[in-house]
Structure 1
């Protein structure tokens, strides 16, 4: 029985929860490609004759990991201690102290203190989104939006920034706030995605052998 004078403390949530960023469009496209490729490949393996089933198997071994790598796999995880980037073939962990800056151009990129650059595949740049944000800003100014007319008032970022650019702004702010924190110190770590690389290489080798032997 619990002593009412000494209540049991409720378990606390993790102090530093990850914020996860992924491309919904990329995931949707990847799932569609996997469904189409799986249907065609499995059909060829079941109904095909001669070398066709083996060619279909090799094609699936080569194509499926690549589709997953470039569409479903990419993700960015950010918390108060570090930025973790899961790109097609690598996972990069960057404590905030090791980050020198984040840049948005034709792609979104992060730079380390040593000058190494990593692309954020999961946060794609949308030129269309930037044009829409610029159009909203222009319309707001024409309508007399006080957040645009008065320079002392900060603008509403959700109405003036493309979603990808706003995410990058949030990551920059988090990087600046946490760079000096004791828990955010450390060196970058890079891990290769062998779970993607190995089946891709096996599929490519098998396909090359089948084509070579005619």
Structure 2
């Protein structure tokens, strides 16, 4: 499983003399790949139905475009987490949460990643939790804690085991699951930047109407075409 590492890129110095870094960006690469594949298959099926279908089939297929395509985009390609010295931006399928670091209470990873801010809880879709990765990470940490020994073939076992999964730039422990590494980095950024003068302010929640409205309109059109 491969995911983005959120590696920042240094930019020019800011007004306070400190270097300004581009936002760290985290998203699930497998989610993006699955979304692209779904869109490719849907485009082929819908195009074939629109060009070669008979009766109401072409119209039904065209009316189904926003009903299927937009949710796939929303749930696979859209989710992302962006973080800089001032704020955390969580882009979920249907809304975007902008939280200045001073308003962030905690980030935690249980069965899903959650942002706790101003007494409210928000899901973080862009950082999925993999229990399989966690089990693999636990086995890797267990192997790393065992005494090192050499086999009859000269292979080394025990300490110094390779990381169990994709490492994240800035993570203190590359043997943890990817989601746990990301949460650790974001939590550390929250603690470090909470006192930043530009990191204060209210949380902003914006709904993604460019996905919601066309999907609902397409659903109405699809029902009307089928019922006609």
Shorter-normalised TM range:
0.7 to 0.9
Q: What does residue range 1-16 of structure 1 map to in structure 2 within 5 Å?
A: 12=12, 15-16=20-21
User: How much has 1:199 moved relative to structure 2?
Assistant: 1.6
Please give the root-mean-square deviation of Cα atoms over the aligned residues, in Å: 1.7
Q: How many residues align?
A: 193
Task: Kindly provide the CA deviation profile for residues 113-155 of structure 1, in whole angstroms up to 9, marking residues without a partner as x.
Answer: 2x21111111000111101100001111113549xxxxxxxx9
TM-score by length of structure 1 reads 0.86
CA shift, 1:12, in A, is: 2.3
User: Does the 8 A contact of 1:16 with 1:81 survive in 2?
Assistant: no
Is 1:95 the counterpart of 2:100? The answer is yes
Give ranges in structure 1 of 5+ residues lacking alignment.
1-10, 147-154
Which has a greater percent of helix?
1
Q: How does 1:121-200 map to 2 (within 5 A)?
A: 121-143=125-147, 145=159, 157-159=173-175, 161-200=176-215
CA deviation after TM superposition for structure 1 residue 211, in Å: 2.2
Higher strand share: 2
Indicate the structure (1 or 2) with the bigger Cα radius of gyration. Answer: 1
Q: Flag structure 2 segments of 5+ consecutive residues without an equivalent.
A: 1-10, 15-19, 149-158, 161-170
How big is the shift at 1:198? Answer: 1.8
